[in-house]
Every structure is written in C-alpha cells, then in structure tokens.
Amino acid sequence: MSFFEALEPEFGSFVMGNAPVKQLATGFDWTEGPVWFGDANCLLFSDIPNNRILRWTPGVGISTYRQPSNYANGHTRDRQGRLVSCEHGARRVTRTELDGSITVIADQYKGKRLNSPNDVVVKSDGTIWFSDPHYGIMTNYEGFKGAQELPCNVYRVDPANGVIEAVATDFNCPNGLAFSPDESRLYIADTGRMFGADAQHIRVFHSDSAGKLSGGKTFHVIQLGCADGFRLDTQGNVWSSAADGVHCINPDGVLLGKILVPELVSNVCFGGRAKHQLFITATTSLYAVTLNREGAVLP
Ligand code: MG
C-alpha cells in the first residue's frame, strides 16, 4: 500500500516513498491545533472535547500539558516563541508567557463577546490574526453552548496596543488561516456554518505591509472534506486537511497530491529537526510523516 497519491508528477519529489505515515498516539476524541516547539523538542496539540492540551515528545510519548484548557483549539507561536492559543470555552485568544502566566489577547469586539476562536497565526510584525467561527458555542461538545453575539469574522490584534480589527467579514465560518512565506498572501478557509450546507473552500487575499487585505477570491475547493487547518512549505505550497488525508496544493491552486490518512484530518504543522516532518491531527490520533519539504516559518 502507498501512503501517497500523486496527481501531478512533481508531487513525487515532495514525498519519500519509503517514509511511513506513522500513528504516534491514539485514543483521543477530536485532535486539533498542532504546534511544534523545537527548543523543547515536543509537539503540543489539543484534544478539544476532553478539554486538554497534550504534549508529544519523541521517544517518550504523550503527557498532559494543560487540563482544563478552556477547550482550546488552534495554537501557534509568536516571534518570541510564546504559545498563542484559541480557547472555545473562554471565548478568547490567549498568550502563555515564558513564566507560565496567561495574557488575554482578545475576548471581545466592539463590546460583544467573541464566538469561539478557532485558529491563529502570527505575522512577522507581531500582529496576531485569528478566525472566530461559531462551532464552539453551537453545542456543548467542544465548549459551552451559548448565544452568538458577533458574525463569524477574521480579526487582527496588535498586541502592542491591544487594538482589535475585523479584517474579513464576509465568511460563513472562517477557520484555518496561514500566510504565504513572503506574507504577501493570506489564505483563509471557509468551512461553512454548522448544520448548514455552505460551500467549503480556501480563499486567498492580498496582504499589504500595513495589514490591509484585498481580493479574497476562491483559491481552491477541497474535494472531500474541508480545509479546517493548513500550513505552507518554503515554496508556498499549501498542505491542508481533508477528509481523506492531507492535500498538497500549489500556489496556483492546483492539487498536486495527497498524503492518505485513515482518519478525518483536522490540521497539520511542520516540525522536527529540519522542519521536514508534517504532524497531522486526525480525529482520534496524532500522525507524522517525513517529507522532502520544509515548513515555511517556525511553526
Ligand atoms: Mg480549525
């Protein structure tokens, strides 16, 4: 059996035929939010319904990083290496300081509570960008059922002054988001309203140095599943979650190939010694595969 499916010839050089898609750990309910800590040689990820953030350490395995986690979902690191987290349960985005204390980055917009921040990315200028769909407040499964006070927007926060701005307001439910390596593009997935039948796709925006977005056309429609989460490699290829695994999409929006995973994938991140391992959170398990590609930024 092969772990890979090439749809364009170049995908053959992105993967190594003898590198397995390895299940590192299992027994979770819905894994999400992988983030690599090279300095600590570990991966953190969320097990959302079980209200915990877990740590996977090579050669050691799984341990608990934080429980309860306020039903944390997506994570990233800022340019100082600090953990930035989306918390469904507390309806906020937080930063974990180096001494372990928690700083609230955003929990409201124009006096109204956020919905349930889902995924987050930090630009090189330090601004924090996150999606705020309603998934975490629609049921009690991944947080607390509650009233929706705001549309499902994408926000940018400048942690230097705390100013929060809605930068994309025409989504059904924004979800995964990531910048291109040169930060001229911001990709944002729309995964559609819960219990709805909205179109599911990744859109691409032009992002200028002042933090303004323009454009926003459909970049790629995921066939089978949705782009819950994705990361980019140094060449600008998008590695996205899908129902049958991880899809590799080039900067022109063309699906080049797939990494086949036996569970529904939620998100991915690059890590490992050369940023050449792709960690994959997929429903009940954590997987990893070594690629012949490197992650675009420090994950
Ligand atoms: Mg997500």
CA of 30 to the centre of ligand 1 (A): 11
In contact, 11 and 3? CB cutoff 8 Å: no
CA of 84 to the centre of ligand 1 (A): 14
CA of 225 to the centre of ligand 1 (A): 13
CA of 287 to the centre of ligand 1 (A): 17
Tell me, yes or no, whether 295 lies in a domain.
Answer: no
Tell me, yes or no, whether 58 lies in a domain.
Answer: yes
Q: Show the domain range for 74.
A: 4-290
Each residue's pLDDT tens digit, 135-182 = 999 999 999 999 999 999 999 999 999 999 999 999 999 999 999 999
CA of 166 to the centre of ligand 1 (A): 18
CA of 116 to the centre of ligand 1 (A): 11
pLDDT at 20 > cutoff 80: yes
Report the C-alpha gap between 171 and 167 in whole angstroms.
11
Report the C-alpha gap between 171 and 185 in whole angstroms.
17
b/e per residue, 27-40, with b = 16+ CB within 10 A?
ebebbbbbbbbeee
CA of 176 to the centre of ligand 1 (A): 5
In contact, 69 and 52? CB cutoff 8 Å: yes
Protein residues within 5 Å, CB atom, of ion ligand 1: 118-119, 175, 228-229
* pLDDT on residue 298: 59
State the total domains in the chain.
1
Nearest to 7 by CA among 245, 175, 232, 171: 245
Tell me, yes or no, whether 297 lies in a domain.
Answer: no
* pLDDT on residue 241: 97
Among 1-5, 82-86, 178-182, 284-288, the minimum mean pLDDT is found in: 1-5
Each residue's pLDDT tens digit, 53-110 = 999 999 999 999 999 999 999 999 999 999 999 999 999 999 999 999 999 999 999 9
Tell me, yes or no, whether 224 lies in a domain.
Answer: yes
Each residue's pLDDT tens digit, 21-46 = 999 999 999 999 999 999 999 999 99
Q: Is 252 exposed, middle or buried (0-12, 13-18, 19+ CB in 10 A)?
A: exposed
Tell me, yes or no, whether 238 lies in a domain.
Answer: yes
Residues with Cβ within 8 Å of 138's Cβ and at least 6 positions away in sequence, in order, are 145, 194, 195
Tell me, yes or no, whether 299 lies in a domain.
Answer: no
Query: Span 203-231, mean pLDDT?
Result: 95
Query: Span 211-234, mean pLDDT?
Result: 95
% of the chain with per-residue pLDDT over 90: 93
In contact, 241 and 227? CB cutoff 8 Å: yes
What is the Cβ-side half-sphere exposure of residue 70, based on CA atoms within 13 angstroms?
18
Identify the CATH number of the domain in which residue 253 sits: 2.120.10.30
Determine how many CB atoms are found less than 10 A away from the CB of residue 43.
27
Tell me, yes or no, whether 298 lies in a domain.
Answer: no
Tell me the two tokens of residue 177. 């988001």
Tell me, yes or no, whether 296 lies in a domain.
Answer: no
Tell me the two tokens of residue 134. 């309603």
Report the C-alpha gap between 121 and 7 in whole angstroms.
29
CA of 264 to the centre of ligand 1 (A): 13
CA of 131 to the centre of ligand 1 (A): 9
